[in-house]
Amino acid sequence: MPKPTRRRLATVFLSLAVVAATAGAALAQKKYDTGASDTEIRIGNIVPYSGPASAYGVVGKAMAAVFKRVNDDGGINGRKINFISYDDACSPPKAVEQARKLIESDEVLLLFGTLGTASNTAIQKYVNGKKVPQLFVATGATKWNDPKTFPWTMGWLPSYQSESRIYAKYLTKEKPNAKIAVLYQNDDMGKDYLKGLKDGLAADPSRIIAEESYEVAEPTIDSHVVRLKSSNPDVIILFTTPKFGAQAIKKVGEMNWKPVTIVSNVSASTATVMRPAGLENSQGVMSAAYAKDVSDPQWAGDPGIKAFDDLLAKYLPEVNRADASAMTGYNMATTMVEVLKRCGDDLTRSNVMKQAASLKQFAQGGLLPGITLTTGPDDFQPVEQLQLMQFKGERWQLFGDVISGELVGN
């Protein structure tokens, strides 16, 4: 073949190689929205570090610890997490103020783990209007699973209604004739719990003989507990936050009252509820769990608990490992890290939501065996299973099987 022809072919091949390389680079091009870059991912968070729900401040601290560890290990796909967490003191107007600051001033890529039903309700329309992910909100309200109306909001915790339907199922089976009294927080959280319980007891709603609601601003709920006792129920169910859960369990004990007592999962912390209520008053109290309890000896040597303990020892030594809020923050942040890893170099807000809605039986070391996270474009409820437990001695003891909240009452 003549030399000029070879040169022309070489030129053609070189040109094709350049085109192919350029096309490959275009396909691999990094995509960013506000809050993300080659070096950083900015995440916003709102938690009540002060006020009546300040016990939940540990949730935010544990989240921060997880992200610090990730950064020390090199970040996510080479990017460091800038976790910006503000206090709203459990005040919805303050939550709105902090959300605006995070999105408009701090220019975060997404909001993560914002805590409290009332606070998240207050910011939900604004955040969705801005098309900013409001991911893995730290509240079990059923309404966070509404992708058609609020496509940028996703829950994480088992829904309050699923949890309370499990209590209804237990009482129907084990205490079919028991009369029930309910103490609930007068907000979306408490009402959500109450609805689930009533739905679960729909076959015999008259079993609930007394209801008492309290306001989060009340200094004590002793008077409500006294009124419930006067109705002479066999069972008292406490749909409360930690401070009021501890008060109620303590007051029941002080009155030498011995009803079957059930407390919501959000108030089942050994460190912030059961011990402050008095271990003697906490004996026999029931609840439900989805996460491992570090005080349970069956998890001694468990890899998931070891990873949790190692994190606290290095990054959060001042926090009591038995505080369930620490495990909650740890578990939620672990899920958030997984979603960001799956985003790769496409750190757009739409892709963050796409990856969050694509979890399939994702298992984490801090969750009970058999409990995994699964989401889809039409299902924004990652955790839907719980297991009943009872407080004995100085710790919770699990019993029965893992139950799916979706199946309860069917």
pLDDT for 355:
98
pLDDT at 10 > cutoff 80: no
Structure tokens at 342: 């799956």
Q: Annotate 391-402 with three-state secondary structure.
A: EECCEEEECCCC
Predicted confidence at residue 29, as pLDDT, reads 87
- 105-120: per-residue pLDDT in tens? 999 999 999 999 899 9
CB atoms within 10 A of CB 262: 24
Which residues does residue 133 pair with via DSSP β-bridges, in sequence order?
Answer: none
Amino acid type, 116: G
- List, for residues 78-89, the tens digit of each pLDDT value: 999 999 999 999
Please give the pLDDT value at position 221. Answer: 95
At residue 329, the pLDDT reads: 97
Average pLDDT (336-353) is 98
Q: What token pair was written down for 219?
A: 């200094």
Handedness of CA 84, 343, 353, 156 (dihedral sign): negative
| Structure confidence by residue, pLDDT tens digits, 163-206 | 999 999 999 999 999 999 999 999 988 999 999 999 999 889 89
The dihedral built from the CA positions of residue 347, 350, 355 and 356, taken in this order, carries a sign that is positive
Instruction: Tell me the C-alpha distance between 172 and 204, whole Å.
Output: 9
C-alpha R_g of the chain: 25
pTM: 0.81
Q: What would the pLDDT profile of 285-312 be if each residue is shown by its tens digit?
A: 999 999 998 888 889 999 999 999 999 9
How many other C-beta atoms are found inside a 10 Å radius of the C-beta of residue 59? Answer: 27
User: Distance between CA atoms of 101 and 110, rounded to whole angstroms?
Assistant: 12
List Cβ neighbours of 100 (8 Å cut-off, separation of 6 or more): 126
Contact 407, 158 (CB under 8 A): no
**Percentage above 70 pLDDT, the chain:** 92
Write down the pLDDT at residue 5: 57
Provide CATH code, domain 161-289+389-404. Answer: 3.40.50.2300
Q: Return the CATH fold of 40-158+299-379.
A: Rossmann fold (3.40.50)
Tokens 């979306």, residue located: 188
Residue type, 220: T
**Band of pLDDT at residue 408, cut at 50, 70 and 90:** very low
- The label of the residue with tokens 């169910």 reads 237
- Token readout for 270 is 């050994």
Q: How many residues does the chain have?
A: 410
Q: What is the mean pLDDT of residues 115-130?
A: 96
Structure tokens at 169: 């199922």
pLDDT category at 385 given cuts 50, 70, 90 is confident
Place of tokens 């011990």: 275
Task: Give percent above pLDDT 90 in the chain.
Answer: 79
Residue with tokens 């936050």: 241
- Does residue 25 surpass a pLDDT of 50? no
CA distances from 63 to 152, 154, 167, 336, 343 (A): 21, 17, 30, 10, 19
Confidence grade of residue 11 (pLDDT, cut at 50, 70, 90): low
Mean pLDDT of the chain: 91
Mean pLDDT computed over 134-146: 93
pLDDT band at 23, cuts 50/70/90? very low
Contact 88, 46 (CB under 8 A): yes
Q: Label residue 322 by pLDDT band (50, 70, 90).
A: confident
List of E strands, 114-207: 134-137, 153-155, 180-185
Query: Which stretches does DSSP call E strand in 215-317?
Result: 235-239, 260-263, 286-289
pLDDT confidence tier of residue 22, bands split at 50, 70 and 90: very low
**Residue 395 tokens, joined:** 């710790």
Residue 384 banded pLDDT, cuts 50, 70, 90: confident
Cα gap 220→227, rounded to integer Å? 14
CB 41 within 8 A of CB 79: yes
| Domain positions in the chain | 40-158+299-379, 161-289+389-404
Going by pLDDT thresholds of 50, 70 and 90, the confidence category of residue 404 is confident
pLDDT at 71: 98
Parallel/antiparallel/unpaired status of strands 286-289 and 385-392 = antiparallel
* 40-158+299-379 and 161-289+389-404 agree in CATH topology: yes
Nearest to 55 by CA among 311, 225, 270: 270
What is residue 188's predicted lDDT score, i.e. its pLDDT? Answer: 86
Query: Which tokens sit at 170?
Result: 């237990």
